[in-house]
Structure 1
Amino acid sequence: MDMEYVKEQLKNLLAIDSPSGYTKEATDYLLKEFEKLGFHAYRTVKGGVIAEIGGEDENNAVFLEAHVDTLGAMVTQIKGNGCLQICPVGGIDANSAEGETVRIRTRSGKMFDGTCQLCNASVHVNGKYADTPRKYDVMEVVVDEKVFTKEETEALGIAVGDFVCFEPRTVITESGYIKSRFLDDKLSAAILLGYAKHIREDNVVPERKIYMHMTVYEEVGHGGSASIPEGVTEVLSVDMGCVGEGLACREHQVSICAKDSKGPYNYEVVSNLIEAAKRAGADYAVDVYPHYGSDAEAALTAGYDVRHGLIGAGVYASHGYERSHVDGAKNTLLLLKEYLG
């Protein structure tokens, strides 16, 4: 497996702003990458990307899903002081958003920098700074332009409904740790591109036909609820593996989820994933996630008659400044290679 390619694709994807609802630049990039690899890919009406990877059994096909939409925010009001009131897109907590560099993307195509701050953010001025609960109604985006009134900010072309994109701050250390916002789930998208590269360059013909679906609304709950091709009997989400207290998974491992907040995953699929991990010699963990939902579950909720599963490289500090490891990506690839045949 070409891990340098995976790391390159990860950095490229993370550099593209793509909060849920503003994902065309990311999907344009994916369409070009699949074309470079020699696979037919197309954009769904909903905006995601589906690639046909090939394989033998077309009536027992596997639908691999990762998502390239991320957390973000949207302008809800231009305040009298020229700053922006925002609301979250997806589950980005106000505590995590504070102090982050952002980009405001207007519908006219202009882009402006800013910072998400607590209102009256100077400790030397605000005596209640430490006592203020961080919620979006006491937060604002300070625009990096010479604006001090609502009218001056509006004159820039910034308006209600504009997307606010957070800087990912991507770092890959010499020891292999990957630190960035939005590893959920661009790390998995890069892993699937790496798997597709392996299929093409090593002339692999999987036992079952494989499709890849890069979804664009997972963070708001309905990314995988449509567009499953005929013949698919199994949906396998490749998303982040949870790392935290009470769970076994670490950033160096591939996580196999047995159950999350929506319920158990298909018993046969989970059992087969565990056996495949053992055969491949992959470092893995099996966990139950207390606060989680996936594209695979969205497919079942939408009424598709499929088996479902969920795997992913371990990611710590989910929905914040996240951390994983190159070994977690490598073990995920080992599991995919063995499981899909």
Structure 2
Amino acid sequence: MPKFELDYDYLEETLLQLLAIPSPVGLTDAVARYTANQLEHMGVPFEMTRRGAIRATLKGKQARPARAIVAHLDTLGAMVRELKPNGRLAIVPIGHWSARFSEGCRLTVFTDKKQIRGTCLPLKTSGHAFGHEVDEQPTNWDQVEVRVDVSARSIMDLEAAGFRVGDFIAFDPNTEICPSGYITSRYLDDKAAVAALLTACKAVQDHKLIPPVDVHPLFTITEEVGSGASAALHGDIAEMVSMDIAIGAPGQNTDEHAVTICMQDMSGPFDYHLTRKLIGIAEKYNIAHRRDVFRFYRSDSAAAVEAGNDIRTALIGFGADASHAYERTHRSALTALARLTTHYLLSKPVAARDERKMASIDGFTEQLTPDEMVVPSTPLPVPHDFMDELLGTPKK
């Protein structure tokens, strides 16, 4: 395996710049332009879809079976649902997140002509006015509103200021990097993975490394609403690894100081061979890693398969805490993710046979060889009714 060094300073600076660019689903042009500029500066060719998803190419020694590695540029956010008679805005979420994490947050409303600042607050905010009722409010999106930083006491005032139903809202990321190496911010999901992927591309370019097969870094723009990598793929791609957040919590095996290799999410198990290839790479190069299963999680990989793509998929993520809230990770997790990503794109494909969509059994993968299979010492009994039905024997 060729040797390389990762530019962590580049990773961190890129992450900070990405986090500074608002990009809720549907408002992603700016972050797509930034990412395209990074690829162009590295000398990595790319194409963009009509809406702004990016498919880059790191040319390999052979074109097929090609692989893709994907991270998403879009984030959570909100949209104006109603101009309220009290001069405030009712909102709905973009993506799936709890209203409890919106309360008290500063934000920007993107009107048709300008950007206006505001704060998201519960309907009953002031303890001096509502007393204990402040603590008794339910938590949902009907219980919050946006107080905009303009003089507005009516619907007419809001309209005169330029507010309309359907205006996008981006919440401030409130990013902080601590001397201890911890990084706290909204939207580490998935901009930390984007920064790690760009860093891996930079390592390949800086060291003039050539992957065994073509690699297509993909940057999607609708993962948070489920469609994600259903676009930007093409028929030569046989393997796809998604890079995303991985959450440590009670009952989970993920750690904030390691990369997680996900075995299954709510869409089902990931590819047996591709997943174990990633585990093997992590073990070989002493990359801190954990295996985990996520019950309430889906990624770009699921969107790609559900769109009808017959490809092997896997999911790797940076260990983190508090997803879709104030997320936290550690620089060691981002380094582990970037290292695993770089080693993977420089590795051989799972199976040479995968260069063709359809082929004979020659070269087909094997999960368990006959000598590994566990066979009961005593044959299990088969119900007579089942055998009668199977053999067509008349019932007595």
Of residues 127-136 and 63-72 in structure 1, the stretch that sits farther from structure 2 once superposed is 127-136
Aligned residue for 1:250? 255
Comparing both structures, which one devotes a greater share of its residues to strand?
Answer: 1
Cα distance per residue 1:1-32 (max 9 Å; x no partner): 00000000000000000000110000011111
**Distance of 1:242 and 1:58 partners within structure 2:** 35
Corresponding pairs, count: 340
- Between Structure 1 and Structure 2, whose CA radius of gyration is higher? 2
- Contact 2:204–2:342 (CA under 8 A) maintained in structure 1: no
Structure 2 counterpart of 1:191, from 191, 196, 201? 196
TM-score (norm. length: structure 1): 0.98
Work out the percentage of aligned pairs sharing the same amino acid: 38
Q: Which secondary structure does the structure 2 equivalent of 1:126 belong to?
A: helix
Query: Aligned to 2:211, which of 206, 210, 227?
Result: 206
Q: How does 1:285-304 map to 2 (within 5 A)?
A: 285-304=290-309
Hey, what does 1:65 align to over in structure 2?
A: 70
1:83-122 map, 5 Å:
83-108=88-113, 110-122=114-126
**Partners of 2:42 and 2:231 in 1: how far apart?**
25
Mapped partners of 1:189, 1:52: distance in 2:
15
Question: Structure 1 residue 139: deviation in Å?
Answer: 0.8
Show the counterpart of 1:230.
235
**Alpha carbons 1:262, 1:293 under 8 Å: kept:** yes
Question: Which ranges in structure 1 are unaligned for 5 or more consecutive residues?
Answer: none
The CA distance in 2 between the partners of 1:80 and 1:53, in whole Å, is: 55
Q: In 2, are the aligned partners of 1:74 and 1:161 still within 8 Å (CA)?
A: yes
Describe the superposition over 1:160-203 as per-residue Cα deviations: whole angstroms up to 9, x where unpaired.
Answer: 00001000001111111110000000000000110111010001
Partner of 1:123: 127
SS at match of 1:125: helix
Match of 1:280?
285
Q: Which residue of structure 2 lines up, in the alignment, with residue 155 of structure 1?
A: 160
Instruction: Tell me, in whole angstroms, the C-alpha distance in 2 between the residues paired with 1:145 and 1:42.
Output: 41
Q: How far off its partner does 1:51 sit?
A: 1.1
Conserved 8 A contact 1:279-1:338: no
**CA distance in 2: counterparts of 1:48 and 1:190, whole angstroms:** 16
2:260–2:292 Cα contact (<8 Å) kept? yes
Q: Distance in 2 between matches of 1:34 and 1:223?
A: 20
Separation of aligned partners in 2, 1:57 and 1:306:
18
2:82 equivalent in structure 1: 77
Shift of 1:129: 1.1
Distance 1:307 1:266 in 2: 6
Q: Deviation of residue 312 (structure 1)?
A: 1.1
Distance 1:57 1:237 in 2: 22
Q: What is the CA distance between 1:150 and its match in structure 2? A: 1.0
Q: Give unmatched runs, 5+ long, in structure 2.
A: 1-5, 347-396
Distance 1:320 1:240, change over 3 A: same
Partners of 1:158 and 1:76 lie apart in 2 by 11
Would you say the 8 A contact 1:61–1:208 is kept in 2?
Answer: yes
Aligned to 1:168: 173
Q: Take 1:269 and 1:36, find their aligned partners in 2: how far apart are those partners?
A: 31
Q: Is 1:47 matched up with 2:52?
A: yes
* Structure 1 residue 124 displacement after superposition: 1.6
Aligned pair partner of 1:331 in 332, 336, 361: 336
Q: Which AA in structure 2 matches 1:86? A: I
Cα deviation per residue 1:195-219 (whole Å; 9 max; x = unaligned)? 1110100011111211111100000
Is the 8 Å Cα contact of residues 201 and 342 (structure 2) preserved in structure 1? no
Q: What do you get for the CA RMSD once the two structures are aligned?
A: 0.9
3-state SS of the aligned residue for 1:129? helix
Letter in 1 for 2:268: G
Pick which of 292-301 and 128-137 moved more: 128-137
Q: Is the contact between residue 54 and residue 232 of structure 2 (CA under 8 Å) also seen in structure 1?
A: no
Q: How many angstroms does 1:107 deviate by?
A: 2.1
Q: Partner of 1:117: helix, strand, or coil?
A: strand
Report deviation, 1:60: 1.0
Where does residue 132 of structure 1 map in the other structure? Answer: 137
Give the Cα–Cα distance (whole angstroms) in 2 for the partners of residues 189 and 150 of structure 1.
40
